[in-house]
Structure 1
Amino acid sequence: MNILIIGNGGREHALAWKVKQSKLCKKLYVAPGNAGTATTAENVDIKTTDFERLATFCLSNKVDMIIVGPEEPLVKGIYDFFKSNPKTSNIHVIGPSQEAAQLEGSKAFAKAFMDRNKIPTAAYREFDHTNYEEGVEYIRNHALPIVLKADGLAAGKGVLICNNPIEALAEFELMIRQSKFGDASKRVVVEEFLSGIEMSVFAVTDGVNYVLLPEAKDYKRIGVGDSGLNTGGMGAVSPVPFADDVFLNKIITRIVEPTITGLKNENLDYKGIVFIGIIKVGDDPFVIEYNCRLGDPETECILPRVETDLVEIFSAVALQKVNELKIKISKDAAATVVAVSGGYPGTYETGKIIKGLDDTSFEGTMIFHSGTKNEGKDVVTNGGRVLAVTSFGDTIIDAAEQSVYMLEQIYFDDIYFRDDIGFEFK
């Protein structure tokens, strides 16, 4: 079949790398793609939210399946757009409907969904301009730390952990009354702070049935030892050592199964990935957030461990036959280390020539491009996160050390990466 992947990051390069291995894939396109996807697929210069042009391209090139990488096109209704048009309704879109994508697009929607389906999560209240003063009083009397979340999509920046009431009240005002995060913070979810260790779980669902992909743990902080500012992700490991069979069973019975059942019972059209951010508090799992797509850099870490044909998996999603799948997972550990531009997650420069990409061939290691583009004969930086290197190993530390070694063979001006991914599992 002809397949179109939508997006331009490391997640999409990893998807393209995996899809290209499928015997079912005839022709592969990525829109808009990057320098890495150009090596395995044909890049198409169309924005991820330009649904009209994407539809025209799909019809002209007889695309059978669309795999949606980032959240924005899903939250804006790409699934509904293709399904509502008789000319494109037969194209399988891997991703939820616009209504179901509110699990990621609206923190308040997700919290209410969890309440209705008795899924464990932090206690919360939601506020907007209509009950702003009530929110002020709620924050003044709340235990610290306290978490403020912009209701809508805020490019990963809309979650604030405040350690004193003055800071919390100031941020609350900035979010609601001064639109700190634009329309995303017109409504704010205020919730209790949960202390624990986090991980990510990925359920592939056809809306009725589900299978699990490998779990992962990502590293958000820019600095060694999980210090400094939050980023889009500096690395990831899989499997997760602290998630033993007992804990994973709790996640399945208390969170995954009620989530999939809730989607079905509430008639939310969901054919794709449910990404569940989990925090382990004591011995119990709680949901931090839902995402309606694969994560980044978790995708670069978990897909190499999936030995089952990914297109077969997504075909089962489209045909509502996920219950017939048997997912085979590698027993090897995987670790992903991300190289970023100097200054990230603040101000950084792009257009830096990347050297060493052709000299880093090593069995058991994969290089995925995140923020790159072709410029003449060169590959140059084109974003904050530039490359994600994934390696296999007998242990997480073995895999992480190999990824670090491979990144040491690559150079661009002001390159930076953490050399301690997986540090707590030594």
Structure 2
Amino acid sequence: MNILLVGGGGREHTLAWKINKSTLCDHLFIAPGNAGTSPFGTNIPLAVNDFEGLAAFCIKNIVAMLIVGPEEPLVKGIYDYFKNREDTAHIQVIGPSKEAAQLEGSKAFAKAFMERHNIPTAAYKEFDTSTYDAGIQYIRNHPLPIVLKADGLAAGKGVIICNNHIEALAEFQLMIQNSKFGEAGKRVVIEQFLDGIEVSVFVLTDGKNFVILPEAKDYKKIGIGDTGPNTGGMGAVSPVPFADAAYMEIVTQKIIKPTIEGLQKESLDYKGFIFIGLINVQGEPFVIEYNCRLGDPETEVIIPRIENDLVEILSATAEQRLNEINICISKQYAVTVMAVSGGYPNEHETGKVITGLTDTVLEGTVIFHAGTKQQGDKVLTNGGRVLAVTSFGESLAEAAEQSNYMLEQIHFDGMYYREDIGFEFR
């Protein structure tokens, strides 16, 4: 079959790399893709939210499956757009409906969903302009630290942890009255702070059945030892040492099954990935957030550990046959380390020439492009997060050491990466 993969980051490069190995894929198209995806398919200059253009391309090129990488087109309803058109309704779309994608698109929707289905999560209340004064009072009486979350999509930057009430009140005002996060912050969820270790759990569901994919832990802070401002992710590890079979059984019974059953009970059409951000509090899992797609940079460690044909799994998802699939996972550790532009996550320059990419890559290492573009025979930086270097090892430390070694061979002006990814498990 012909497949169109929507997106252009490290997640999509990883998916393209994996899909290219499938005997079921005749031709892969990536819209828009990046400099790293082109060896695995054909990059198409279409924006991820250009639903009309994407549909026309699918019709012209006899595309049988549409895989949606980023959250924005899902939240904006790309699934519904394709299913409601007579000429594209037959195309298998991997991703939830617009209504189901609210699990990521609205923090308030997700919290209410968890409350209805008794899924463990932090205590919360939501506020908007009409309840602003009540929110001020709520913050003043709230124990510290306080977690403030923009309700909508805020490019991974809409969560603020405040260690004093003055800071929390100021951020609350900035979000609701000063539009710090635009429309995404017009409603704010104020949450109880949970102290523990985070883990990302990934599930693929056909709306009825589900399979659990490898788990991962990502590292959001820019600085060594998890310091400094949040980013889109500086690296990830998989497997996560504490997420053993006993812990994952608790996660399955208390979180995954109630989530899938909740989707069914509420008739939410969902055929795709569910990324459940969890926090482990003294052995008990609590949901921090839902995402309606794979994470980035977690994709760069979980997809390479899956030994199955990915297209076969996705076809079973679209056809509601996931009960027929057994996921085979490599026992090796995978560590990805992200190289970012100087100044990231704040203002940063792009267009820097990247060298060292074509030098000898060690066996057991794959370089995934996150923010790059091709210009003639040169590869240039084209974003804050530029490259993710993933390595395998018999231990987490071995895999991390190899990724760091490979990054020493790569250069672009201002390049920065964290050398301590997975530090607490080494």
What is the TM-score normalised by the length of structure 2? 0.99
Which residue of 2 is the match for residue 185 of structure 1?
A: 185
Rounded Cα–Cα distance in structure 2 between residues aligned with 1:159 and 1:418 = 22
Paired amino acid for 1:417: Y
Q: Take 1:167 and 1:364, find their aligned partners in 2: how far apart are those partners?
A: 46
Could you tell me which amino acid in structure 1 is paired with residue 364 of structure 2? Answer: G
Residue aligning to 2:145: 145
**AA matched with 2:138:** Y
Structure 2 matches for 1:402-417, cutoff 5 A?
Answer: 402-417=402-417
The alignment partner of 1:161 has SS state of: strand
Q: How does 1:17-416 map to 2 (within 5 A)?
A: 17-416=17-416
Deviation at 1:179, TM superposition (A): 1.2
Describe the superposition over 1:228-285 as per-residue Cα deviations: whole angstroms up to 9, x where unpaired.
1111001000000011222111111000010001001110000000000000011100
Confirm or deny: 8 A CA contact 1:275 1:292 kept in the other structure: yes
Using the TM superposition, give the Cα deviation of residue 345 of structure 1 relative to its aligned residue in structure 2, in angstroms.
0.6
List gaps (5 residues or longer) in structure 1.
none
CA deviations on 1:131-151 (whole Å, 9 max, x unpaired) are 111111111101000011110
C-alpha RMSD of the superposition: 0.7
In the alignment, the residues of structure 2 paired with residue 250 and residue 379 of structure 1 have an alpha-carbon distance, to the nearest angstrom, of: 45
| In structure 1, distance between residues paired with 2:228 and 2:187 | 28
SS at match of 1:278: strand
Q: In the TM superposition, what is the alpha-carbon distance from 1:166 to its structure 2 partner?
A: 1.1
Count of equivalent residues: 426
Moved more, 101-110 or 152-161: 152-161
**Residue 377 (structure 1) shift:** 1.0
**C-alpha distance in structure 2 between counterparts of 1:76 and 1:55, whole Å:** 15
Provide the rounded CA distance (Å) in 1 between the counterparts of 2:167 and 2:421.
31
AA of the residue aligned to 1:398: E
For 2:87, what is the secondary structure of its paired residue?
A: coil
| Separation in 2, partners of 1:423, 1:373 | 31
The answer to whether the 8 Å contact 1:360/1:406 transfers is no
Q: Distance in 1 between matches of 2:166 and 2:2?
A: 55
Q: Deviations over 1:24-52 (max 9, x none)?
A: 00000000010000121100000000000
Give the superposition deviation at 1:174.
Answer: 1.3
| Structure 2 counterpart SS, 1:94 | strand
Segments of 4+ in structure 1 off by > 6 A? none
Q: Quick check: 1:360–1:409 contact (8 Å CA) kept in 2?
A: no
**Uncovered stretches (5+) of structure 2, i.e. residues with no partner:** none
Letter in 1 for 2:274: V
2:169 is aligned with what amino acid? L
Q: SS where residue 126 of structure 2 aligns?
A: strand
Following superposition, the deviation at residue 72 of structure 1 comes to 0.2
- How far apart are residue 360 of structure 1 and its match? 3.2
**Counterpart of 2:227 in structure 1: which amino acid?**
S
- The separation in 1 between residues aligned to 2:245 and 2:155, in whole angstroms, is 34
Contact 1:13 1:369 in 2 (8 A): yes
1:176-225 per-residue CA deviation (whole Å, 9 max, x = no partner) reads 11211111111110110001000100000000100011000001111111
Cα pair 1:97 1:270 within 8 Å, conserved? yes
Taking every aligned residue pair, what percent have the same amino acid on both sides? 68
Partner amino acid for 2:33?
A: G
Q: Does the 8 Å contact 1:77/1:97 carry over to 2?
A: yes
Q: How far is the alpha carbon of 1:312 from its aligned partner?
A: 0.5
Q: Normalised by the size of structure 1, how large is the TM-score?
A: 0.99
Q: 1:232 aligns to what SS in structure 2?
A: coil
